[in-house]
Structure 1
Amino acid sequence: MADQMSLVLLRRAEHVLFGALLVVGAVRTGGAAAVASAAALAGWYVLGIALARRGRGRTVGIVWLAVLAAGWAGLAVLSVDFVWLAFPLFLLAMQVLPAPLGVPAVVLLTAGAVTTIALHRGRFDPAAVLGPVVGAAVAVVITLVYRDLRRESARRADLLAELTEAQDRLARSERYAGTLAERERLAREIHDTVAQGLSGIVLVLRTARDADPDTARGAIDTATDAARTALADTRRLVRALTPAELAGRSLPEALRRVVAAAPYATLTVDGEPAELPTPVEVALLRAAQEALHNVRAHAGAERAVVTLTYLPEVVRLDVVDDGRGFDPAVPPAASTTGTGLGLAAMRDRLAEVDGTLVVESAPGHGTALGVTVPLGSTR
C-alpha cells in the first residue's frame, strides 16, 4: 500500500512540476503568442494523462510524447524560460518509452536544452551545460527508483492475490468438509428416525391387512402414531436445514445482515416483501453472498448496490458494482477473475428453483448480476 501511494505521489509531483514550469515560463516571457502556445501545450499534456488513465497502448503514448517534445522545442526557441520544461520531459521519456529508448531520448533532450540555451545566449556556457546534464541524471535515477517501486508493488499485488486465492480455496475446502459431515449426520438422523418409523408403519400395516377388525384398528392407530412421529421428525430436519442467516428472519433481514458485513455495499428492497419457499430464499441469499464475495475478492470495486425486488410474478435480486469487470464470454478456465466456478454453482442452485442468472460485464466497466425467480413455480 505504501509503495502504491509513493507511485501516486511521484506522478502527481511530475504533473505539478510540469504545470509550474510552464506557468513560470509563460509569465516571464509574456506576450499573447507565448501564453497561447503554453496553454496549447498544457491541453496536450492533460489529454495524455486522460489517455493514460484509460489504458491506451504504448504507441499512443509515444506519439503523445513526441508531440509534447516538439511543442516544448518550439517554446524553448521562443524563450529561454521554457527550456527548464526539459526536466519533466526527461522523466516522461524514461517512463513512456521502452527501456532501450529511454536513455537515448533523455540524451537527445539534454542536447536540445543545451543547444537552445547557447542559441539564446550566443555562446556555450559551462553552467548552462551543467544544469540540463544534472537534471537528466537526476531524472534517470528517479525513474529507475520509480520502476523498482512499480515492480515491488506488482510483486506484492501478486502475493496478495495468491494469498486471497489460497484463503478462498481453504474456505471452500472447509465448507465442503462441513457439507460432507452434515450429510453424514443427516443420513444417520434420517435412518434413526424417519426411515425406521416408516419401516415400522409398513410392518404394522402388513399385519393389519389380514387381521380381524379390532386388531386392524389397533394396528392402524399404532401406524397413525408412528406416522405423526415421522412427520414431526421430518419437520425438525427441514428446520435444521434452514441456513443460520434465515433462522427466525425474513429474506430482507438476512440480506441486511450480509450487506452490513460488506462496508462497500448497500441494500435496497422494493415492493411488498412476501413469504417465499425456503429453497427460494436460500438460493437468493447464497446468490447475494457469492456476488458480494466476488466483488470483494476480484472486482476491486469501491461500491456495490444490492437490490431485492418483489414483483407480482417474480422476485429479482440485482447486484451492481463499479469494479474492473470481466469478459463473460471468456470460459471460466481462461478467466483471470476467478468468478467462473462461483457463477456456475450459482446457476445450478437457481435452476433447482426455476431461477435464471444474467451477468452483464465488460473489462473496466463493472459488473451487473441479475437473478430472477418466478413465484408461480415455487409456491
Structure 2
Amino acid sequence: MHKAVDGEEAVSLRRAPSHGATTQVATRLMQRLHDGPTQLMTLALLELDQARQSERVAGAQVLGGIRSLVCEALRGTRQVLEEWDSGMAADKSMSLTTSLIHLGRRLSSFTGLALHIDCDDSVFDPPPPVAIAVLQAIQELLLNTCKHAPGANVELVLTALAYGFELTVSDDGPGFDPVAVYQRHSEHGGLGLGAMPERLARVDASFNLQAGPGAGVHACIRWPGDFAEQGWPGRRVVRLPGRASLR
C-alpha cells in the first residue's frame, strides 16, 4: 500500500532486472560460494577424515585448524550474502598488491599453507572488476593446492608489464594432468579450475596452466591493461612458513 504525498499517490517504480543480468549475478554468486566457502568446507572434511583415520586422538592443534576452516567458510558465506543484499562487489580501499598479500596471509593462517609472496609495487591498480576476478582466481588456485597438494610450497609473484601485469602461482606438489581437467569441464561444466580461462577472459585477462604428474603446477594470469608503464621502484616480499601437513 502506497502513502499519499501532497494529495497524490506516491508510487515507487523500480525497473526489474533483465533475465541476462539476473543470470550473470547468480553465476558470480555461485562462483564466490564455490571459490571460498565450498572449498574451505571441503578442506575441513579432508582434515576430519584424516583425523578419524589416524590411530592417535586428534589434538588441540588439529581440532583448532578444522575449527578455523569452518569459521572462515561461515564468514565467507555471510560475506556473499551481504554482497547479494547490498550489491557490494569487493573492498575497493586496498590496492591489488595489498589485497594479494592480505589474501595470502588470511589463507595461510587457517590452512597452514607455506606461501612466498613477491609483489611488484609498480603494478598500477586495474579496474575493480579485473581485481575481483583475479583475486577470486588466486583464491581458487591456492585452495586447490591446499586440497590436492597438502604440504606443498607455493610461490605467488606479481610483476608489472608495460601496460598491465602478470601474476603467477607455482607449487612443488604432485601435479596433475591439465588436459583431463579441461576435458572434464568441457563435458560436465562447473566452476572450478577448468572454468578459469573463460572466467578471466570476461575481464580481458588470459590464463595459462602448466602442470603434469610429479611436476607441480604453474599457473599464469596476464592482464594487458591500458595504462602507461609506472616508473617507481619497489617490491614487497612476504614469506609465510605455514605448518606441517597432517598427511
TM-score by length of 2: 0.52
Give the structure 1 partner of residue 134 of structure 2: 284
Give the structure 1 partner of residue 35 of structure 2: none
1:265 to 115, 124, 128: 115
Provide structure 2 residue ranges, at least 5 long, that are not aligned to the other structure. Answer: 1-49, 55-65, 228-247
Deviation at 1:290, TM superposition (A): 1.1
Q: Which structure's CA Rg is the greater one?
A: 1
Give the structure 2 partner of residue 362 of structure 1: 212
Give the structure 1 partner of residue 53 of structure 2: 156
Deviation at 1:356, TM superposition (A): 1.2
Deviation at 1:325, TM superposition (A): 0.3
Provide structure 1 residue ranges, at least 5 long, that are not aligned to the other structure. Answer: 1-152, 158-163, 187-236
Tell me, yes or no, if structure 1 residue 242 matches structure 2 residue 87: no
Give the structure 2 partner of residue 296 of structure 1: 146
Tell me, yes or no, if structure 1 residue 310 matches structure 2 residue 160: yes
Q: Which amino acid aligns with 2:197?
A: R
Match of 2:194, SS state, is helix
Structure number with higher strand proportion: 2
Give the structure 1 partner of residue 197 of structure 2: 347
Deviation at 1:181, TM superposition (A): 6.7
| Change over 3 Å in CA distance of 1:174–1:259 after alignment to 2 | closer
Deviation at 1:348, TM superposition (A): 3.4
Deviations 1:299-330, CA, capped at 9 Å, x for gaps = 23431000011111331110000001000111
TM-score by length of 1: 0.35
| Change over 3 Å in CA distance of 1:174–1:351 after alignment to 2 | farther
| Change over 3 Å in CA distance of 1:325–1:248 after alignment to 2 | same
Q: Which amino acid aligns with 2:214?
A: G
**In the aligned structure 1, how far is the partner of 2:156 from the partner of 2:121?**
14
Match of 2:178, SS state, is coil
Give the structure 2 partner of residue 251 of structure 1: 96
Deviations 1:177-228, CA, capped at 9 Å, x for gaps = 8646743x24xxxxxxxxxxxxxxxxxxxxxxxxxxxxxxxxxxxxxxxxxx
Structure number with higher helix proportion: 1
Match of 2:192, SS state, is helix
Higher relative contact order (CA 8 A, sep 6+): 2
**In the aligned structure 2, how far is the partner of 1:371 from the partner of 1:301?**
24
| Change over 3 Å in CA distance of 1:241–1:326 after alignment to 2 | same
Deviations 1:272-314, CA, capped at 9 Å, x for gaps = 1212101111112112111111111112343100001111133
* Equivalences, count: 156
| Change over 3 Å in CA distance of 1:269–1:179 after alignment to 2 | closer
Deviation at 1:264, TM superposition (A): 0.3
| CA RMSD after TM alignment | 3.6
Give the structure 1 partner of residue 8 of structure 2: none
| Change over 3 Å in CA distance of 1:253–1:271 after alignment to 2 | closer
Give the structure 2 partner of residue 82 of structure 1: none
| Change over 3 Å in CA distance of 1:331–1:284 after alignment to 2 | closer
**In the aligned structure 1, how far is the partner of 2:105 from the partner of 2:89?**
24
Q: Which amino acid aligns with 2:202?
A: E
